[in-house]
Structure 1
Amino acid sequence: MKLLFKQHRMYESEHTQFIKDLKAKNPGIEASQQQGRSLLWDKAPTSLDEQSRQSESRIAQQAYVYQSKS
């Protein structure tokens, strides 16, 4: 069992090699990814007053959204 582990310890998949090569060619890629992530996902915290205002102004959705009320 130890022999098998030693043989495959240095194995890297094609995907891992691709990512390592990509990062070597573009050293700023991780910083740009984090910057893009922050634009889409990182939101500023909202105050308790703003949270209560948002919850009070929320309109309840009907049970079956595709059925008209008429």
Structure 2
Amino acid sequence: MYDKYQSDTTQFLNDLIQKNPELEQERLQNRALLWDVTLNPEEQAQYEAAKLPKKPYAYQPD
């Protein structure tokens, strides 16, 4: 019943992708800049070691 319904936004995006097929490749390249990054285990260990312990109650004055 509702399986053929597409919102205006979905229709717009599908049409945009059909007219500009290079957008998918650009999206993957831009994603790689921020999300698909290889983390350095040594740096991660340093970040963890540098964390300060949290106070049991943050709003209590020292």
Shared fold per TM-score greater than 0.5? yes
Identical aligned pairs, as a percentage?
32
Matched residues, number: 60
Considering Cα pairs closer than 8 Å and 6+ residues apart, tell me whether 1 or 2 has the greater RCO: 2
| Gaps in structure 2 of 5+ consecutive residues | none
**What is the root-mean-square deviation of aligned Cα atoms in Å?**
2.6
Could you tell me the TM-score, scaled by structure 2's length? 0.59
Greater shift in the superposed pair: 25-34 or 54-63: 54-63
Which protein is bigger by CA-based radius of gyration? Answer: 1
| Gaps in structure 1 of 5+ consecutive residues | none
Question: Moved runs in structure 1, 4+ residues, more than 6 A?
Answer: none
Q: What's the CA shift string for 1:22-67, capped at 9, x where partnerless?
A: 11111111111112212221221212x3332221111223342x55
